[in-house]
Amino acid sequence: MTRLFNDPAAFADEALEGFAAAHRRRVRPVTGGVVRAGGTPAGQVAVVIGGGSGHYPAFSGLVGRGLAHGAAVGNVFASPSAQQIRSVARAAHAGAGVLLMYGNYAGDVLHFGQAAQRLAADGIEVRTFAVTDDISSAAPEDSAKRRGIAGDLPVFKAASAAAEQGLSLQEVVRVAERANARTRSFGIAFSGCTLPGADQPLFTVPEARMAVGLGIHGEPGIGEESLPTADDAARLLVNTLLKELPDDVGAARGQRAAVILNGLGSVKYEELFVVYREVARLLGDAGVEIVDPEVGELVTSFDMAGVSLTLTWLDSRLEELWRAPADAPAYRKGAFGTPDASAAGPASDATDTAGDTDTAEAVPAASENSRHSARTVLSALEAVADTVDAHAEELGRIDAVAGDGDHGIGMQRGATAARRAAAAAADAGAGAGTLLSRAADAWSDKAGGTSGALWGTILRCLGAALGDQDAPTAARVSEGVAQASAAVRRLGGAEVGDKTMVDVLVPLADTLNRAVADGQALPEAWDRAATAAEAAAAATADLLPRKGRARPHAEKSLGTPDAGAHSLALITRAVHGVLLNHRLDQD
């Protein structure tokens, strides 16, 4: 468990602050993460990696010459927000474009995708790339759905070394594609990890058993087996990976491979070496020549007791990139010549606030009616935050059944930030639309993860529907919820039946629309919609997930409602209480 922390909600920020202070010769802090201390050489593609905290040395520890040019770092086990990613990318950009790289998790896909859109609007050439090395998370025919685990390192390393050589953005992307296509990982665990401030681990493994095929966010494995000896563990890891070779490799014998035996947080280095001796022997017996192996903690999961094995099947080009020098706080290889300080691109100020939701900004003009309604919206957001606080532990427990257990924590961060931003907007005289827009940005920025992106979208749609001039009506609110329903489905790709928040959002929007069309006032219409939402949330217990982190553990979630669906239903009911008190639609 994590023993040394102050406020658990501030853990990720404080850890990043301490990391930057400890490694100021190699990195400097910017809003949302860190970049190379010396900047990106002029005309060099900037490789910006990122993901949630809790995985050190990924992601901040991999920033440095020969590796990434910057890292966007989210909250614990939550993707960085689009604002954070954009900020880091702008600070790292040196004129040749930006490649955004991350593990293939729903929240990362959403936020890095949104950041890419904003960077493109800024006039920056940008591409995104998701690592998909974990063979346990999807079948070979669905490899694009696989998540990124310790294979992040060789893929990041290949792309970064290519950028260091001065290749174009398109060429760097092709290198990343090649490295990813030839990288496979598989892991086992003996105990779950415990987040800062939590009383229980995200999952547990029975005594004398191990979880097989786990994820780095504490997701349970896809199966359990008896606790192995070190040699047994090595055989399981090696044999599993040798059963799935890249299409263009053919047979293992005669191949060369980069090998990573990765500790996930609390397996000691001596234990890893005991396992690696057998890994090396088995690969040798299979005719595989090992190139520059790495044994240690490279992509962790807080204090999880577990190990993973990664093989990157090398060709001459990938081997050149794998063996190329690197000088990052947590990963060093070979040696560079004396750095040419004059080659560095323009260094952005460490206080760059691109996308920073806390930056003061004048609010647009609003009508008196809209400013009055903004106070009611603020009350609703306060009720949302209070409800999330009251149910955070329950939401985490539900999420941990088949996911990573951080839904309650993420919702708390988002709702708290939204309430704070909304209060500041209301004090500044904002109308309802602007207040909701500010709350949306704050929720998305501080929560990160999939829920952060989706809740930011929901609030933004509501704000656009209400605007800053007219008093909210039942019809406007209904239209905003309908737009939110469509936007969330478009952004996340989920539909009704996938066991996500969409299973609640769609009936909420449809029922509210029908109730308003029937002539009901907003409080009564919302009550009817909230009742439908509660029924829909409960019904998700009978569904098997087809999206998100819970998908590989579908059977485990049967009988338990989806955490995102449940939290939306709770919030919908809390908002109804506010509407009863304020009765927004006086028309």
Catalytic annotation, residues: 217
d(CA 523, CA 83): 35
Please list the alpha-helical segments (H only) found in 402-544.
407-427, 432-447, 449-466, 474-492, 502-517, 522-539
Q: What three-state secondary structure class fits 430? A: coil
Q: Is the dihedral of CA 367, 372, 377, 382 positive or negative?
A: positive
Question: Beta partners for 310?
Answer: 185, 260
Distance from C-alpha of 374 to C-alpha of 233, rounded to nearest angstrom: 59
Sorted by sequence, the CB contacts under 8 Å of residue 259 that are 6+ apart come out as 279, 280, 283, 290, 291, 293, 294, 309, 310, 311
Q: 309 to each of 116, 312, 326, how far by Cα in Å?
A: 31, 10, 22
Residues 321, 161 contacting (CB under 8 angstroms): yes
Q: Do 249 and 312 touch, CB atoms closer than 8 A?
A: no
The number of beta carbons lying within 10 Å of the beta carbon of residue 123 is 6
Q: Cα(569)–Cα(502) distance, rounded to whole angstroms?
A: 11
The answer to whether residues 503 and 469 touch, using CB atoms and an 8 Å cutoff, is no
Query: Any bridge partners for residue 257, and if so which?
Result: 290, 313
Q: Which residues contact 114 (CB under 8 A, 6 or more apart)?
A: 82, 453
- Are the CB atoms for 67 and 58 separated by under 8 Å? no
Amino acid identity of 203?
F
Q: Is 96 helix (H, G, I), strand (E, B) or coil?
A: coil
CA dist 443 and 563 (Å) reads 18
- The number of angstroms, rounded, from the C-alpha of 362 to the middle of its chain's C-alpha atoms is 31
Residue 192, classed as helix, strand or coil, is coil
Angstrom distance (rounded) from CA 94 to CA 100: 14
The total number of residues shown for the chain amounts to 587
Q: Can you tell me the distance from the alpha carbon of 412 to that of 44, in angstroms, rounded to the nearest whole number?
A: 39
- Reduce the DSSP state of residue 423 to 3 states and report it: helix
The span from the CA of 324 to the CA of 180, in Å, is 17
DSSP string, 237-287: HHHHHHTS--TTT--STT-EEEEEEEE-BSS-HHHHHHHHHHHHHHHHHTT
**Torsion sign over Cα 33, 39, 43, 47:** negative
Antiparallel, parallel or unpaired: β 98-103 and 126-131: parallel
Dihedral (CA of 317, 98, 118, 428) sign: positive
Q: Which amino acid is at 11?
A: F
Tokens of residue 373, six digits: 């309604």
